Amino acid sequence: MEERTKPTFGAILIGFIKKNAVMVIALIAAIVTACIVGIDEKYVDYFDYKTLTCLFCVLAVVCALKNINFFYILARKVVQMFKNARTSILALVYITFIGSMLIANDMALLTFLPLGFFVLTTTHKEKYMAFTFIMQNIAANLGGMLTPFGNPQNLFLYTKFEIPNLEFMSIMAPPFLLSVTLITLCCLVFVKREPLHLDDEPIRLPVWRTVVYLLLFALAIVIVFRGIPYWIGLIVIPIALLILDRKALLMVDYPLLLTFVFFFIFSNNMSRIEVIRNFLSGLMQRNTLVYSTLSCQCISNVPSAILLSQFTNNYPDLLVGVNIGGVGTLIASLASLITFREYVKNNPGKTGSYIAKFSLFNFSFLIILVVFMSFWTRM
């Protein structure tokens, strides 16, 4: 019997960098700009502590709900209501869409992509796997745009510019409704009404823990909407989870939180470099919507929001740009990389065909949304 060789430190390091590439890039960017600008007392004001706290609280409670299979059971019940491939895939996509509004886009994908894989494999509809994953990915990126906590960049901009709740939703309603329409049309056109059946699975929720976690989730949402001070959540939620589910606290996406920290340093340092400040301010004055969307294609939507917010007060166009900019390239959103990783893991050897289909659908959505919103903002 052969002994398994332990992975070397180099292999572990490379694996960590691959898994957290955006965080590592953000760290390098922060270090480079810190060397240019220097480190001083202004760094204390770089960080948006409320954004970091709200993001931590939401992620922690979502992890706890995920650990009791809350979202999995809920999604299965919805899928079991439908009896054919078209409506079942549409249900999966809608679940991801709605989930991204409540638990953030990346968590929605980590929760519902495995369900999509399970449904399609158990019903022998693997031919729709790539399409379903791509639609779930687009739904996660675009569905989260309607709420302040749906996408990480939303939470940051919502807090930074102190956008009123109704104004936030009125800004995002037009691209949101168009996205729902486009996703629905794609599912109706590209999926046939083929019969399928999903067997029931005996999984039950622990009632009292479910109630407590839902109350904690409600607390986190109230904090996001400025109902109570954010420090209350930073005390109550960790203490509750230390008692009920310590694993949930360990499962929080800390690399995402650190990515925010590093990009706060990077973006604020960039704003202190005169040449960069003048260049980016000029681009934002020309067309905030288009240039913020293009920025997402190169450096992803979260860092684009943090960086470009230093150079414009036109938060409506910036908010729209960094949301619809989440579709497009694989690196336009962290959520897209999550979907790509999950698909390749379950479907080895089909990377090329997936990227081709992904690019076709994503850039089609991107072009339609940019053109539509460019006309809408001029009305």
Domain assignment of residue 83, yes or no: yes
Residues 6+ apart with CB under 8 A from 157: 163, 305, 309, 315, 318, 319, 322
Q: pLDDT tens digit string along 156-199?
A: 899 899 999 899 999 999 999 999 999 999 999 999 998 877 66
Residue 199's pLDDT is 67
Residue 367's pLDDT is 97
Domain assignment of residue 340, yes or no: yes
| Residue 96: Cβ-neighbour burial (10 angstroms; 0-12, 13-18, 19+) | buried
Q: pLDDT tens digit string along 285-321?
A: 899 999 999 999 987 888 889 889 989 999 999 999 9
Residue 1's pLDDT is 44
Count the domains in the chain.
1
Q: Please state, in angstroms and as integers, the Cα–Cα distance from residue 40 to each residue in 104, 133, 259, following that order.
A: 34, 46, 21
- How many other CB atoms are found less than 10 A from the CB of residue 235? 9
Residues 6+ apart with CB under 8 A from 190: 131
Provide the token pair at 119.
Answer: 């449904």
Mean pLDDT along residues 43-71: 84
The DSSP code sequence of 230-288 is HHHHHHHHHHHHHHH-HHHHHHS-HHHHHHHHHHHHHHHHHHTSHHHHHHHHHHHHHHH
Residues 6+ apart with CB under 8 A from 261: 47, 52
pLDDT-based confidence at 5, cuts 50/70/90? low
C-beta of residue 372 within 8 angstroms of C-beta of residue 170: no
C-beta of residue 96 within 8 angstroms of C-beta of residue 143: yes
Domain assignment of residue 231, yes or no: no
Q: pLDDT tens digit string along 355-364?
A: 999 999 999 9
Domain assignment of residue 232, yes or no: no
Question: CA 339, CA 317: separation in Å to the nearest integer?
Answer: 27
Enter the DSSP assignment of 328.
S
Residue 164's pLDDT is 92
Domain assignment of residue 286, yes or no: yes
Mean pLDDT along residues 23-35: 88
Domain assignment of residue 143, yes or no: yes
Domain assignment of residue 55, yes or no: no
Handedness of CA 21, 27, 31, 34 (dihedral sign): positive
Predicted confidence (pLDDT) at residue 4 exceeds the cutoff of 70: no
pLDDT-based confidence at 80, cuts 50/70/90? confident
Domain assignment of residue 212, yes or no: no
C-beta of residue 322 within 8 angstroms of C-beta of residue 153: yes
Q: pLDDT tens digit string along 110-154?
A: 778 888 887 888 788 889 999 999 999 999 999 889 888 778 889
Provide the token pair at 288.
Answer: 């905030």
Residues 6+ apart with CB under 8 A from 114: 72, 342
Q: Can you give the residue range of the structural domain that contains 291?
A: 69-204+253-378
Q: pLDDT tens digit string along 247-293?
A: 999 988 888 788 878 878 887 888 788 888 888 888 888 999 999 99
Provide the token pair at 169.
Answer: 């939703």
Mean pLDDT along residues 50-72: 84
